[in-house]
A and B are shown apart, each in its own frame.
Chain A
Amino acid sequence: MQNRKPKNSPFRGLDIQRHSFLSDKDCRLIHEGSCQLLEEVGIGVTHAGAVKLFEKEGATKQNGRMFIPRMIVERSIQQTEKNIVLKALDSTNNLGIEGKNSRVHYGTGGQALYVLDYKDGAFEKKAAVTQDLIDIVRICENLENVDFITRPVEPNVQDEDMDLTKTRIFLENTSKHINLANLIQIEKLPEIISMVQNKELISFIACVLVSPLSMAESTTEKFIRFIQEDIPVAISSCPQAGTTAPLSEVGELMQVNAEVLSALTLANLVRPGAKILYRGIPITSNLHTNVSPRWCQPDSIRRIAIISDMTHFYGIPCCGTAGVSDEKEPNPQAIAEKTLSWIFETASGAQFINSALGMLEQVLTVCPEQYIIDDMVIGRIKQLFLKSPDYNLRDIARTGVEEALSMFGVQMDSAMKEEVSSRINFIFSGQEEYSADHVQAQADLIKKAIISGKSSNVFLKTSRSGLRRGWLYSGKRFEGRLELEDLHLLKTEILDSYGN
C-alpha cells in the first residue's frame, strides 16, 4: 500500500527529487538545434487543415515541407498547458501531472499483437483477442502500482465496433484513469464522449510523427480532433537511432525534439493552451543484428531518460516510457533490463510513465504474469527511492536489479553483478560531446538524409563509425530460471474473483 497518496497531496504518485543528465546549457543547445531543423529542414505535412493553420501563422511550405519560424514554436511552448489533471471513475485515482514537478506515475502500454498464455510451466504465444483486453484491464485494476491503464491490446471485433467495445470494456472494469491511446475510427469520438459522460476520464496518444521529420496525415486528423475536444493527448515520436534518426545521441535528441515540437505547435494553433504530454521515445536500432528496435538496452534507457530533461526544461508534462523489454518471454534478462529502465525513468522525473507494465518483445507482446511481476518490482523500486530523499542513483540501480531478481528466485553471481555495473556505467556516461559543432554536423546529416529520399539507408550507412566507437551498448545476458508458479496462482485468483 506504500505511497498510494503522498502526504499533503490529493493525488496518487511517487514524489522524488529528480536526477538530470543534461545541464540547462545542453538542453538549450538541443532546443536551438531543433528550432534550426524546423526552420531550415522543415516538417513534411500533407494534412490540408494543418497546412492552412501553419501558413496562417507565417510558416511557409515548399516541396511538401513546412518551414516553421522559431517564434511560433517558442510561443506554443509558452502556451501549452503545464498542469493537467487526469481523472478517474474513483476520484482517489485522479492523477496530477505537473510539468515542473517530478511526481511519477506508472501505467500500461500497447498496442501489442500477441499475448503469452502460461500453461504447464511454459508460455504459448497467440494473437490477442477481446477477452485478453478484459483480463488485462481487470488484472491492472487490482495491481497497486498501476496508476493508469493504456489499452494493452485491441478487441478483435469489426473495425466498426472496435473503439466503442474498447471504451465499454474500460468503463466496466476499471476505476483508474483510462488512456484509450488510439481510435481506429475517429468519427466515433462523439459517441465515445457521450459513453464516458465525463471527458476528463480519458486521454489519448497520437503517433503523429513519422521520423525523420514528417507528419502522418490520418493521425494528424485524429490529433486535431482530440485537441479540439480539449482532451489530453500524448504526442508520440519514436525514432530509432541508426534507421530513422542519426545513431548519435545528440542528433537523435535534436530530431525527436523537433518532431514533438512541430506537433505541439500545431496543437496550440488548433487551440491555444492545448493539453499535451510530450512523448519522445528516442530508442536505438539493433545494428549488431537485425535492426530491430532496442527499447531496454543501456543506450535506449539513457536517451529516454534524457528526454525528461527536455520536458522539465520546457515545463511541459512528460509521457515517459520504461520497462518495454526486448525479450520474448518473462526471464531474468527481462527483469534486469526492465528494472534498470524503471529506475532511470523514475529518477528522470517523467510524470506519466507509459508502457511500464506487462510489455515484452519490443511492444509486440504482453503477458498477464508479466504485469504482476512488473507491479511487484515497481513497488520495490518505489521503496528504494523513498528510503532516503537524497538517494544515490547508482546504489539504487545496483540494489534494485539484485532485489528484483531475487524476488523471483534468481541470485546474482559476480559475473552478473559486473554486468549490472557495466550497464549502469554506460547509462551514466555520455559518449558524445554536447557542442555547437556537433549539433551542426548532426543537423547537416538529418538534412542530407531527408533530401536523399532514402533516409534509412543514409542513417544506417553513417552509423558505422559510431557503432565502432561503442555508441550501442553490447554486453552479456542475465541467465537463470524464474519461479513463477505463485504469480500464476495470483493471476488466476484475480480473474476468478470476477466469476468466470
Chain B
Amino acid sequence: MSDLIEEIKKNLIAGRVDSEDEGFDEDMTGQPGVTELVKQALEEKIPASDILAQALTPGMEKVGRLFEDGEYLLPDMLASAECVAEATEIMEPHLAGVDIQSRGKFIVATVEGDLHDIGKNIVATILQGSGFEVQDIGTSVKASQIVQAVKESKPRFLGLSALLTSTMTHMGEVIDLLKNEGIRDQIIICIGGAPVSEEFAKKIGADIYGEDAFDAMNKLEKLA
C-alpha cells in the first residue's frame, strides 16, 4: 500500500479534514489533512477506488471500533465522518463506474417554527459517516417545502426533527401532505427530538422513531 494511502487513513482516523485542523493528541496544525492528501493522491494517479477501499473504508471501520470501545467520543466520530464526506466529494468525478456503497439518500429538516438544530446536525453527520447520502435542508422548514424537496430529490429516507411541543404537530402535517401527493409509500420516515416518542411516531404514521443519532443509525442500517 502506498505511503500516501496510509497517510490518508491515518489522518481520517485522527479526524483531520485539512491542514488547519489541530487533531487532538499533539498540535498537528499545518500538516496536510485528508483533503490535501486525497488531492495529492489523485494527482499522483492513485486510483480513487484504491483510496476508497484501502483508506476510507477501513479507516472509518477502525473509528467505529474505537467508538464502540469507548476510546473515541462523538466529536471524534463526527470529525472522521466529515473527512469521509469531504474526501468522497473530491473523488466523485474520478469514481464514475465505481460502485460507492451508499446506503441511500436521506433528507433531513427541522420542522416549521422550530430553530433547534443541534440534534438534527448530529444525526445528519453520523448518518453521513455511516454511508448515507445526507441532504440537510435546514431549520424551520415548511411542510410544503419539505414535500417539494422530497419530490425533487426522491430520497429513500426522510428525517424530521422537532424540539417543541408546539412544532411537533407539523410532522404529522408533512406526512399528510405526502399522502395527498401519493408519494408517502415511496419513502421511509424517521422522526426524533426531545418531545417526540415511539407512541407519537405511531400516532402520526411515521415509520421510525430515533431516540438519538445512534438509535436512528442502527434502525436505518437494518433497512438500508
Task: Describe B's contact surface by its main secondary structure.
Answer: loop
Alpha-carbon distance A69/B183, docked complex (angstroms): 52
Q: Looking at the complex, which one of B22, B25, B118, B122 makes contact with A244 (CB distance below 8 Å)?
A: B118
Residues of A within 8 A of B79 (CB): 460-461, 464
Contact B195 A467, beta carbon cutoff 8 Å: no
**Interface residues as binary, B81-102 with A (CB distance below 8 Å gives 1, 0 otherwise):** 0100000000000000000000
Contact B194 A364, beta carbon cutoff 8 Å: yes
Interface centre among A288, A457, A464, A465 (most CB of B within 10 A): A464
Closest A residue, CB atoms, query B17: A461
Contact A454 B121, beta carbon cutoff 8 Å: yes
Contact B165 A113, beta carbon cutoff 8 Å: yes
A197 at the interface (CB under 8 A from B): no
Task: Describe A's contact surface by its main secondary structure.
Answer: loop
Given contacts A291-B122, A464-B79, are A456 and B117 in contact (CB under 8 A)? yes
Given contacts A243-B118, A287-B74, A287-B75, are A465 and B195 in contact (CB under 8 A)? no
Closest B residue, CB atoms, query A219: B115
Contact B115 A465, beta carbon cutoff 8 Å: no
Residues of B within 8 A of A467 (CB): 24, 73, 75
**Interface residues as binary, A281-297 with B (CB distance below 8 Å gives 1, 0 otherwise):** 00001011111000000
Contact B121 A457, beta carbon cutoff 8 Å: yes
Count residues of chain B with CB under 8 A from any CB of chain A: 28
Alpha-carbon distance A362/B87, docked complex (angstroms): 38
Contact B118 A461, beta carbon cutoff 8 Å: no
Residues of A within 8 A of B75 (CB): 242, 287, 460-461, 463-464, 467
Contact A465 B23, beta carbon cutoff 8 Å: yes
Closest Cβ of chain B to A176, distance in Å, is 27
**Interface residues as binary, A255-283 with B (CB distance below 8 Å gives 1, 0 otherwise):** 00000000000000000000000000000
Given contacts A113-B165, A113-B194, are A464 and B121 in contact (CB under 8 A)? no
A159 at the interface (CB under 8 A from B): yes
A240 at the interface (CB under 8 A from B): yes
B212 at the interface (CB under 8 A from A): yes
Contact B74 A457, beta carbon cutoff 8 Å: no
Residues of A within 8 A of B165 (CB): 113
A171 at the interface (CB under 8 A from B): no
Closest Cβ of chain B to A223, distance in Å, is 15
A462 at the interface (CB under 8 A from B): yes
Alpha-carbon distance A291/B73, docked complex (angstroms): 10
Residues of A within 8 A of B27 (CB): 465
Closest Cβ of chain A to B163, distance in Å, is 10
Residues of B within 8 A of A29 (CB): none
**Interface residues as binary, A369-380 with B (CB distance below 8 Å gives 1, 0 otherwise):** 000000000000
Given contacts A456-B117, A456-B118, are A288 and B82 in contact (CB under 8 A)? no
Residues of B within 8 A of A52 (CB): none
A25 at the interface (CB under 8 A from B): no
A484 at the interface (CB under 8 A from B): no
Alpha-carbon distance A15/B165, docked complex (angstroms): 39
Residues of B within 8 A of A196 (CB): none
Q: Looking at the complex, which one of A159, A216, A244, A290 makes contact with B74 (CB distance below 8 Å)?
A: A290
Closest B residue, CB atoms, query A290: B212
B173 at the interface (CB under 8 A from A): no
Contacts A159-B166, A243-B118, A456-B117 given; 4 further ones with Cβ under 8 A? Answer: A461-B75, A461-B78, A465-B27, A467-B75
Nearest 3 CB-CB pairings of A with B: A464-B24, A460-B75, A461-B79
Interface residues of B (CB under 8 A from A): 15, 17, 21-25, 27, 73-76, 78-79, 82, 115, 117-119, 121-122, 125, 165-166, 194-195, 212-213
